[in-house]
């Protein structure tokens, strides 16, 4: 089974990992996370991704992030991804250790919202879906 949700948020330079870690106090990162967590929780709730999903996650998952084409380098979305994964803990996954999350994949796409998908790491439907969305190609699997 594939789970997906959209986050209606535009990542800007102030959201980039470089900006968040550029000699700033830890409270800046904490404030950022506290600002965007309600948006993520709202997106999860709209898609009924709640604690009942956790019982369906019986194997490690991969999480795919598709970001709208923006001017931010792909690796500078990493802090946003961390906050998303932290929001999945307790709702869809037990924890974010490698026992439950084997990895993430990032790509850009032509949509206008951030698309997050996750599914069992070996589920052919999830792999096919990510290929269709442009997140992976057949040479990478």
Locate the domains of the chain by residue range.
3-140
pTM exceeds 0.75, yes or no:
yes
What pLDDT, on the 0 to 100 scale, is given for residue 139? Answer: 54
What pLDDT, on the 0 to 100 scale, is given for residue 71? Answer: 83
Q: What is the pLDDT of residues 64-121, one digit of tens each?
A: 999 998 888 888 888 899 999 999 998 889 899 989 998 888 889 888 999 999 988 7
CA distance 133 to 1: 16
Residues 64 and 116: beta-carbon distance below 8 Å: yes
Given a cut of 70, whether residue 34 has pLDDT beyond it is yes
Cβ of 93: how many Cβ atoms within 10 Å?
Answer: 20
Report CA 120 to chain centroid distance, whole Å: 15
What pLDDT, on the 0 to 100 scale, is given for residue 22? Answer: 76
What pLDDT, on the 0 to 100 scale, is given for residue 70? Answer: 84
**Structure tokens given for 16:** 């980039």
Given a cut of 60, whether residue 37 has pLDDT beyond it is yes
Given a cut of 70, whether residue 138 has pLDDT beyond it is no
* Per-residue 3-state assignment (H helix, E strand, C coil) for 67-132: EECCCCCHHHHHHHHHHHHHHHECCCECCCCCCCEEEEEEEEECCCCEEEEEEECCCHHHHHHHHH
Q: Percent of the chain scored above 70 by pLDDT?
A: 87
CA distance 90 to 36: 18
What pLDDT, on the 0 to 100 scale, is given for residue 68? Answer: 92
Question: What does the radius of gyration of the chain's CA atoms come to, in whole angstroms?
Answer: 15
3-140 belongs to which CATH class? Answer: alpha beta
């Amino acid at each position: 089974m594939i789970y997906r949700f959209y986050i209606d948020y535009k990542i800007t330079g102030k959201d980039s990992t470089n900006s968040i870690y550029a000699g700033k106090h830890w409270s800046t990162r904490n404030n950022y996370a506290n600002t965007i967590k309600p948006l993520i929780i709202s997106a999860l709730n709209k898609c009924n991704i709640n604690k009942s999903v956790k019982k369906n996650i019986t194997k490690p998952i991969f999480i795919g992030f598709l970001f709208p084409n923006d001017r931010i380098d792909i690796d500078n979305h990493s802090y946003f991804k961390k906050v998303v994964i932290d929001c999945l803990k307790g709702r869809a996954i037990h924890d974010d250790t490698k026992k439950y999350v084997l990895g993430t994949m990032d790509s850009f796409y032509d949509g206008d919202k951030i698309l997050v998908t996750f599914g069992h790491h070996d589920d052919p439907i999830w792999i096919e879906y990510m290929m269709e969305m442009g997140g992976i190609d057949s040479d990478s699997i």
